Amino acid sequence: MEAAEVRGGREETLGAAILVLGAVAVAVAGLGPIAMVAIRGFTPYGHVVDGLTASSTGALLLVAIGMGAGAIAAGAATFRSMPTKPSRERAISGAILGVHAVTLAALLLWFRSGDPERFAFHFLNFEKLSGYGFAFLRGAKNTVLLAFVGEGGGVILGLVLAILVLSKRAVTRAPARAYINFFRGTPLIWQLSIFYFGFALGLGLHLSAYNSAMIVFALNTGAYAAEVFRAGIQSIERGQMEAARSLGMSYLQAMRHAIVPQAIRRVIPPLMNEFVILIKDTSLIVVLGLLDRELDLYSLARQGYSSTFNATFYVAAAAGYLAVTLPLIRAVNAVERRLRSGLVGVGA
């Protein structure tokens, strides 16, 4: 009995060791090259090249491959004999991390064998960004403002459209359904172009390209939000509406006081997902032409590339989008977990 317990304890320790080995291998493969570059500095771009091509970086990548291969071999050889499910999962996870480490290190070694200097000059030449720091901050602000206005207006419009679409009267449903189908069925870039060049300029409306884009984003988001609200409202049990009507409420009163408040909680995650998508779609405003103070992240990157013919501006724009969207994506996941655990039927 004691021998079996000792053996089980050793296997538990082995599973944890395999997991640690795989994790360390990934850290060496991913963070090692970054550390080598950071030691030398990220500017000028030649320092980035020196860090990536240094013999010490190559040695770290080879070490990562060795550690990753060790984790793969150990995990594959021992996971079946692990005495408990947690130890088995640790062994499997360590082996998978080993695969990640070997793949990443092999890709970086392949990259080193090519022309890293050419790549660094065009994509990691951060000197070119000198003097653009405030412009990128302003571009991020313009991007977020476009998305906020578009999402806010779209949510209000979408709720109204959803209520109209759910009406029993065809004459009420038809215009709302036509609106939704039109804006969901035509490209956003076409909507931006026709509204600004066709309506704003063609009809002499005093609207800037930036303000026109805000309106179009709200109109477009309204169509998608309407479908989200419709699905959320229809997910509420029919008895809720019947109970509200039995209390003497009209259809609109029942929707306002009984149905919509419940539906809103259920549609928060998909609406937040729509907001993340809208942040990325704001880049389409580039087709309209903007004043310098109105440039969004993508338009600013495009302007910087046109001036320098260096793609580092696009890398900086991608970093800006990720800085905005990644926290939102995490927030969406957190809200979904919260609602799934707190509301019956939300997960379905």
Token pair of 188 as six digits: 């956003």
Structural domain includes residue 21: yes
Same domain, 149 and 171: yes
Same domain, 119 and 236: no
Label residue 199 exposed, middle or buried (CB < 10 Å: 0-12, 13-18, 19+).
Answer: middle
Same domain, 33 and 137: no
Domain count along the chain = 2
Same domain, 118 and 155: no
State the amino acid at position 269 in one-letter form.
Answer: P
Structural domain includes residue 303: yes
Same domain, 102 and 144: no
**Containing H/E element for 135?**
helix 133-165
Model confidence over 246-290: pLDDT tens digits? 888 887 788 878 888 888 888 888 888 899 999 999 999 998 888
Token pair of 93 as six digits: 């996870």
Same domain, 104 and 171: no
Give yes or no for a contact between 259 and 238, defined as CB atoms under 8 angstroms apart: no
Structural domain includes residue 203: yes
Same domain, 111 and 231: no
Structural domain includes residue 81: yes
Domain boundary among 77, 102, 124: 124
Same domain, 176 and 280: yes
Residue with tokens 């692990």: 82
Distances (CA, A) of 43 to 38, 54, 302, 314, 320: 10, 16, 22, 17, 19
Same domain, 94 and 201: no
pLDDT (tens place) for every residue of the chain, 348 residues total: 444 444 555 667 888 899 999 999 999 999 999 999 999 998 888 999 999 999 999 999 999 999 999 999 999 998 888 888 888 899 999 999 999 999 999 999 999 988 999 999 999 999 999 888 899 999 999 999 999 999 999 999 999 999 899 888 899 899 999 999 999 999 999 999 999 998 877 787 888 899 999 999 999 999 999 999 998 888 888 788 778 888 888 877 888 788 888 888 888 888 888 999 999 999 999 988 888 888 999 999 999 999 889 999 999 999 999 998 999 888 888 877 776 665 444 333
Domain boundary among 96, 124, 152: 124
Whole-structure pTM value: 0.81
Domain boundary among 89, 124, 159: 124
Token pair of 234 as six digits: 């229809």
Token pair of 191 as six digits: 């909507």
CATH of the domain at 285: 1.10.3720.10
Q: How far apart are CA 244 and CA 258, in angstroms?
A: 7
Structural domain includes residue 144: yes
Structural domain includes residue 347: no
Q: How far apart are CA 246 and CA 57, in angstroms?
A: 74
Same domain, 59 and 152: no
Structural domain includes residue 65: yes
Same domain, 115 and 244: no
**Which range of residues forms the domain containing residue 35?**
2-124
Structural domain includes residue 348: no
Same domain, 104 and 155: no
